Homo-oligomer: A and B are copies of this chain.
């Protein structure tokens, strides 16, 4: 918590301890929802009990709507409140946030809280709960403003004035026909700059971008970002508007997706924080042990060349140099390919591969030459330098190519290419590098040593 919030926490705790309702309200209600939620989560149980008597559920809704805390954690606070307080709180909150909490608490609790809501409200929540995770339906809220196409700017403005306090965002006013089909959109700017008697249909934009309720969140995030929207409408299969997704939720999606990509690249979930090292280890071990088996394959391959190794033991010195460098090159080309696939929808695959082939050749030759010189000079043996250098060039070329071919192949068979991790590529390239290295060494040996 930032210093200013620490100071506020001290002040607010003071008012709570003195049961100073007025003092508490004066400070607390002047804060932003996000700040309120940070402070609220920092209070202890006794303090929270007082908060529920100091501020109304309608005022607390702000705290629950703007929190960045885990929805499951927020759900636990509901148990501390009276039934009528919970009911009013949930009714006042935006439906998408209620749904977030409900999908993160135990079913028995969910059922109880649903029972506290008015029938339409409960039905709306029930409907939203059933949308699959990471779809438009699971992200949207139902608090949007829509007007009928027959209205004028004046009557639309009256409607907006009435609805404004309930809507999550009023930047766009959606225009629907008599069967609720989405036919246009107005901005609040249009509304306030046009005279009252103008017809809505005369100024609305008829090219409305909407997403299907089952559409994947990543595609939606891309659209909102490209088009610079602050909200996007969601429609069902009959093109009726059923909700909107606001830009703050889109930002969370973008964060989530990029954290996922980052996690995949490292072969570990970087987001779920656990302070229990056993749980942390349990999350990292599966990937490590899987790769261990791949690593054992490499070991059996080296074992296969034990005769060669005992004959020319100097070869062992450069195993880790070659596998390590090839692994690094493979990780680079993997990361580039994954990002290209993710950000570029009309990518020429052939071109990407060709470019990686050429890049691999250049990188391989340059690195191979460096190694040739270094090893040759160091060991005073340019034949050995040639073996290690050639193996290095070959290993890099293969690792580089694998780094781009594997994610492309995964995309082709419908697997998220981001799942291919750096550790996987480098462990795989250990295998190919060793194969290349010892075969080249054997070949050179036969060529020159006989």
| Contacts from A to B (Cβ < 8 Å) | 1-2, 30-34, 66, 68, 157, 160-161, 164-165, 170-171, 188-189, 192-193, 205-207, 209, 224-228, 230, 247-248, 250-252, 254-255, 258-259, 261-263, 265-268, 270-271, 273, 275, 277-278, 280-281, 284-285, 287-289, 291-292, 295-296, 298-300, 302-303, 306, 309-310, 313-321, 323-325, 327-329, 331-336, 338-340, 345-346, 351, 355, 358-359, 361-363, 366-367, 370-371, 374, 378, 422-423, 426-427, 430, 434
Contacts and interface: CB of A to CB of B under 8 A. Distances in A.
B323 A323 contact: yes
Given A193-B161, A288-B363, A262 B335 contact: yes
Nearest to A271: B339
Contacts of A288: 325, 328-329, 332, 363, 367
Ranked 9 nearest A-B pairs via Cβ: A266-B335, A277-B358, A258-B258, A316-B316, A268-B332, A328-B423, A281-B362, A228-B248, A270-B339
A273 to B, nearest CB: 7
A262 B422 CA distance: 11
Contacts of A68: 226
B331 A302 contact: no
Copies of the polypeptide in the assembly: 2
Residue of A32, A227, A247, A324 with most chain B CB atoms under a 10 A cut-off:
A324
Contact of A299 (B66, B209, B317): B317
B277 A302 contact: no
A423 to B, nearest CB: 4
Given A66-B227, A284-B363, 9 more contacts: A2-B345, A225-B252, A277-B355, A277-B359, A292-B370, A306-B314, A306-B317, A315-B316, A323-B323
A363 B306 contact: no
Contacts of A346: 1
Given A263-B335, A281-B366, A319-B319, A193 B207 contact: no
A323 B327 CA distance: 12
A227 B316 contact: no
Contacts of A362: 277-278, 281
B329 A359 contact: no
Contacts of A363: 281, 284-285, 288
Nearest to A247: B247
A329 B321 CA distance: 19
Contacts of A334: 266
Contact of A324 (B250, B270, B295): B295
A363 B282 CA distance: 8
Contact of A266 (B263, B265, B309, B318): B265
Contacts of A331: 266-268, 422-423
